Chain A
Amino acid sequence: KQEVTQIPAALSVPEGENLVLNCSFTDSAIYNLQWFRQDPGKGLTSLLLIQSSQREQTSGRLNASLDKSSGRSTLYIAASQPGDSATYLCAVSRNDMRFGAGTRLTVKP
């Protein structure tokens, strides 16, 4: 059974710092990996989706990488802002989708 782990569980950084969120998964037979953002009381917002054949995806200040063979993905956030404060979830999918428990990010002004 696929297990998805996110480290750290919580992270607090001052505004302007670059940061990395980690995601690992146990079964490398995936179709894609997706990073989401979840704000309190809201549904999930998809940030980046990496197909299994891809190594990375970039959107603005966000860069996500995928190393399928080692079962790892990272989400890099450049020049963090207070508005980036949220919970970040990674999810891997094959026929269904398995989520990590998330990293709660706080960016302090």
Chain B
Amino acid sequence: GAGVSQSPSNKVTEKGKDVELRCDPISGHTALYWYRQRLGQGLEFLIYFQGNSAPDKSGLPSDRFSAERTGESVSTLTIQRTQQEDSAVYLCASSPYVGGHNQPQHFGDGTRLSIL
């Protein structure tokens, strides 16, 4: 399909394990975002990639969280030494960047992460 693809769709893991979440953006979208949505709460911004610029990491909640993106393609969000409070849906979005403005974001269906 032509949409944003995230994998896995569900992940259950034990506390203390590392997890890696993947996002395949829409081809040609230079901007890529990661968000977290805890149960019953609003969406939290985590990190923003724009082309080859340094990413905006201001939303990462701790140094256990990191994300990488190679060029304008796939991104991975890594959570090390997972804690129960990391349980959430992790959403990825991508958008074109035209004329100095971000365009509407297209979201994946998210990865539901459950830490036991």
How many cross-chain pairs have Cβ atoms below 8 Å apart between A and B?
Answer: 58
Please determine whether A95 and B56 come into contact, CB atoms closer than 8 angstroms: yes
Please determine whether A99 and B45 come into contact, CB atoms closer than 8 angstroms: yes
Q: Which residues of B contact A97 (CB under 8 A)?
A: 33, 35, 45, 48, 105
Please determine whether A98 and B101 come into contact, CB atoms closer than 8 angstroms: no
Q: Known interface pairs A44-B93, A95-B48, A95-B56. Does A49 touch B41 (Cβ–Cβ under 8 Å)? A: no
Among the stretches B62-70, B79-87, B107-115, the one at the interface with A is B107-115
Q: Interface SS of chain B: helix, strand, loop or mixed?
A: strand
B104 near A: Cβ within 8 Å? Answer: yes
The contact size tier of chain B is: 20 to 34
**Other-chain residue from A34, A42, A96, A99 in contact with B42 (beta carbon distance below 8 A):** A99
Q: Which residues of B contact A28 (CB under 8 A)?
A: none
B38 to chain A, nearest CB (A): 11
| Cα–Cα distance between A92 and B45 once the two chains are bound (Å) | 11
Q: Which residues of B contact A43 (CB under 8 A)?
A: 4, 6, 91, 93, 107-110
| Cα–Cα distance between A41 and B39 once the two chains are bound (Å) | 11
Q: Known interface pairs A44-B93, A102-B42. Does A96 touch B107 (Cβ–Cβ under 8 Å)? A: no
Please determine whether A45 and B107 come into contact, CB atoms closer than 8 angstroms: yes
Q: What are the interface flags for A11-40 relative to B under an 8 Å C-beta threshold, 1 for contact and 0 otherwise?
A: 000000000000000000001101010000
Binding site for A on B (CB under 8 A): 4, 6, 33, 35, 41-45, 48, 56, 58-59, 91, 93, 101-110
Binding site for B on A (CB under 8 A): 31-32, 34, 36, 41-46, 49, 51, 89, 91, 93, 95-102
